[in-house]
Amino acid sequence: MPNDPKYFGEGLPYLKPFKNKGKLITIEGTDGTGRSTQVDLLKEWLEVQGYAVVETGWTRSNLMHKSIEMAKSGNMMDRMTFTLLYATDFADRLESQILPALKSGHIVLADRYIFTAFVRDSVRRADPKWIRNLFGFALVPDLVLYLKIDMETLIPRVIESGGMNYWEAGMDLHMGQDLFDSFVNYQSALVNEYEKLAKEYSFEVIDACKGVEDIRDKIREKVKDILGKPKK
């Protein structure tokens, strides 16, 4: 059913009124929880059922990727600047990918959403009110799937799949003696923040310590709930 778009805050006051005919499904979780695998599986499954799907991912806007790459490689920015870069990227994707897709009745799968910015900023002790206002232009998703993981499961997965990198380990925060300690402390802090958000924003929590198929099936159940009757 088409409905009026709902925003977290002030929204985008300059847009002409429109109806949202699609669904916005977002997947959150720390690095190594298998988000992108699940997005692929879900996309495939939805398309087989006849739904048109558009995928969007964090920092993937055409407008901003150059500035973000430059910032990451230079390692020279403060938290505020970083957050604003990501917010700009998100705004660009919202207006150029997400909203047009929803208007035309697509299902949008977002690999990470504004909650990623919330947790990363909380860990860096930012003012939670400021960032919530900043992302007040964001559309409220129809479903937030949160892939929850514990450190015992996460660490071997990350090491097997190519190792820990500077940003995933939160090295800018100096949370540990070495890369490994820093990674563990940083990722645990992120999981803690996600826990708080899960309550505040009613995430659907999915146990990501399980196998790929188990997670996939759980996700399908949740998605079925918001889609209503399957199209045949």
Partner 1 sequence: MPLFDKKHDAPGKLIIVEGIDGSGKSTQIALLEKWLESQGYSVFFTEWNSSELVRETTKEGKKKNLLTPTTFSLLHATDFADRLNYQIIPPLKAGMIVLADRYAYTAFARDVVRGVHPQWVRSLYNFAIKPDLSFYFRVPIQAACDRILTSRAQIKFYEAGMDLGLSPDIRESFKIFQSKILEQYEKMIHEYNLVPIDATLEIHEQQEVVRDKVKEVLKGYLKKRTIYAKRPKVFWRRFTVS
Question: Does 42 help bind partner 1 (rule: CB under 8 A)?
Answer: no
Between residue 47 and residue 66, which ones bind partner 1 under the rule CB under 8 A? 62-64, 66
Distance CA 232, CA 230 (A): 6
Name the minimum Å distance from CB 51 to partner 1.
Answer: 27
Phi, psi of 139 (to 5 degrees): -80, 140
The nearest distance, CB 13 to partner 1, in angstroms, is 5
List, in sequence order, every residue forming a beta bridge with 58; answer none if it has no partner. Answer: none
Contact present, 102 and 22 (Cβ < 8 Å): yes
Q: Which is nearer to partner 1, 103 or 157 (CB)?
A: 103
**Site for partner 1 contains 153 (CB under 8 A):** no
Give min distance, CB of 69 to partner 1, in A. 11
Residue of 25, 53, 54, 87 interacting with partner 1 (CB under 8 A): 87
- The reply on whether position 9 binds partner 1 by CB under 8 A is yes
Q: Which is nearer to partner 1, 10 or 178 (CB)?
A: 10
Judged by beta carbon, residue 87 or residue 154, the one nearer partner 1 is 87
DSSP assignments along 133-200, one per residue: HHGGGSBPPSEEEEEE--HHHHHHHHHHTT---TTTTTGGG--SSSHHHHHHHHHHHHHHHHHHHHHH
Reported in sequence order, the residue ranges of 45-124 that DSSP labels E, i.e. its strands, are 53-57, 107-111
Per CB under 8 A, the list member of 57, 59, 92, 172 interacting with partner 1 is 92
Residue whose CB is less far from partner 1, 138 or 208:
138
The enclosing H or E element of 26 equals strand 23-28
The one among 27, 53, 54, 85 contacting partner 1 by CB under 8 A? 85
83: closest CA among 125, 31, 129, 118? Answer: 118
Query: Does 140 help bind partner 1 (rule: CB under 8 A)?
Result: no
Q: Which of residues 96-115 bind partner 1 (CB under 8 A)?
A: 96
User: How buried is residue 45: exposed, middle or buried, by Cβ count under 10 Å (0-12/13-18/19+)?
Assistant: middle
Residues that bind partner 1 (CB under 8 A): 9-10, 12-14, 62-64, 66-67, 70-71, 77-78, 80-81, 84-85, 87-88, 91-92, 95-96, 127, 130, 133-134, 136-137
